[in-house]
């Protein structure tokens, strides 16, 4: 079983509700969603209502004391997990119904202990823009998307107890230990990294990522048919948007 681990708070409830819905629609059957929050009774009730809307007993909501760092919360979520494998499930991103299935299949096919995506979609709702970012340009072994981790719970390093950047420490440690890693390429449409203005990292960081890693016009055109199909499978879907490239922009209505 894969335990998807979400850490959230009161200010992110609308976003978390979307991520909960995306979990409920996953096509990989053996799964659970563990949600940790420090928002008190009102947040707890709102999250339970969001879970109840999907009538899915595999969704668990756990309240924790306020003031705990993100890294400590991730470690607590790992301890609460019932699955043999865990998957980072950030509360403010979107996930295609095939995301878990694709990463699980890649992990098994490559006889790996962990699996990461190498590319992802990067969405800026306020600007109605999206980019397809490719992290394969990074030097090996960091040519992967750290937040897309799926892997064995018993081998996952402890997250540093930091307010942000905690996943970098854990990923670097598992790389240092030499665990076999599957890198899933060409399925960036299954994970939408969302910049909404309240992210841990500022707008400048998000913009710099897409400026340096975005697909160019030729790659976008080759993937356009698949991209349109897969985006149509999100529920709720995305407003009309454009995907800028060096020669203009691909429009997705």
pLDDT confidence band for 246 (50 / 70 / 90): very high
CB 132 within 8 A of CB 243: yes
CB 87 within 8 A of CB 5: yes
- Which of 6-10, 57-61, 67-71, 180-184 shows the lowest mean pLDDT across its residues? 67-71
What domains can be seen in the chain, in order of their start residue?
2-252 (3.90.550.10)
Q: What percent of the chain lies above the pLDDT cut of 70? A: 100
**Is the pLDDT assigned to residue 141 strictly greater than 80?**
yes
Q: What is the pTM of this model?
A: 0.95
**Is the pLDDT assigned to residue 69 strictly greater than 90?**
no
CB 114 within 8 A of CB 152: yes
Alpha helix stretches (DSSP H) within 53-165: 70-80, 99-109
**Is the pLDDT assigned to residue 39 strictly greater than 90?**
no
Closest listed residue to residue 191, CA positions, set 150, 143, 157:
150
Residue 199 has a pLDDT of: 87
Distance CA 54, CA 97 (A): 14
Residue 113 has a pLDDT of: 98
Which residue shows structure tokens 């991103």? 93
Mean pLDDT of the chain: 95
Residue 213 has a pLDDT of: 97
Residue 163 has a pLDDT of: 65
Residue 77 tokens read as 């979520």
Per-residue pLDDT of 78-130, as tens digits, reads 999 999 999 999 999 999 999 999 999 999 999 999 999 999 999 999 999 99
CB 152 within 8 A of CB 2: no
**Is the pLDDT assigned to residue 224 strictly greater than 90?**
yes
3-state class of 148 per DSSP?
A: helix
Residue 67 has a pLDDT of: 81
Closest listed residue to residue 156, CA positions, set 69, 82, 78, 77:
78
pLDDT confidence band for 253 (50 / 70 / 90): confident
Please give the residue that has the higher pLDDT: either 9 or 102: 102
Closest listed residue to residue 129, CA positions, set 13, 37, 239, 6:
239
Distance CA 147, CA 149 (A): 6
**Is the pLDDT assigned to residue 68 strictly greater than 80?**
yes
């Amino acid at each position: 079983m894969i335990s998807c681990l979400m850490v959230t708070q009161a200010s992110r409830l609308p976003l978390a509700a979307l991520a909960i819905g995306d979990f409920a629609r996953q096509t990989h059957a053996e799964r659970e969603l563990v949600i940790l929050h420090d928002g008190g009774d009102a947040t707890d009730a709102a999250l339970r209502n969001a879970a109840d809307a999907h009538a899915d007993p595999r969704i668990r909501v756990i309240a924790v004391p306020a003031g705990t760092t993100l890294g400590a919360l991730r470690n607590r979520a790992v301890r609460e997990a019932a699955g043999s494998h865990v998957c980072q499930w950030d509360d403010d991103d979107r996930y295609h119904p095939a995301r878990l299935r694709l990463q699980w299949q890649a992990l098994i096919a490559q006889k790996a202990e962990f699996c990461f995506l190498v590319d992802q979609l990067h969405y800026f709702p306020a600007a109605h823009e999206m980019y397809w970012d490719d992290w394969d340009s990074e030097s090996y072994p960091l040519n992967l998307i750290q937040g897309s981790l799926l892997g064995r719970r018993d081998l996952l390093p402890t997250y540093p107890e930091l307010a942000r950047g905690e996943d970098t420490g854990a990923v670097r440690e598992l790389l240092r230990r030499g665990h076999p890693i599957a890198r899933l390429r060409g399925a960036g449409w299954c994970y939408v990294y969302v910049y909404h203005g309240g992210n841990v990292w500022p707008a400048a960081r998000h913009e710099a990522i897409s400026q340096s890693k975005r697909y160019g016009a030729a790659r976008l055109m080759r993937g356009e048919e698949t991209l349109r199909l897969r985006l149509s499978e999100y529920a709720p879907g995305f407003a009309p948007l454009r995907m800028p490239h060096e020669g203009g922009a691909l429009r997705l209505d």
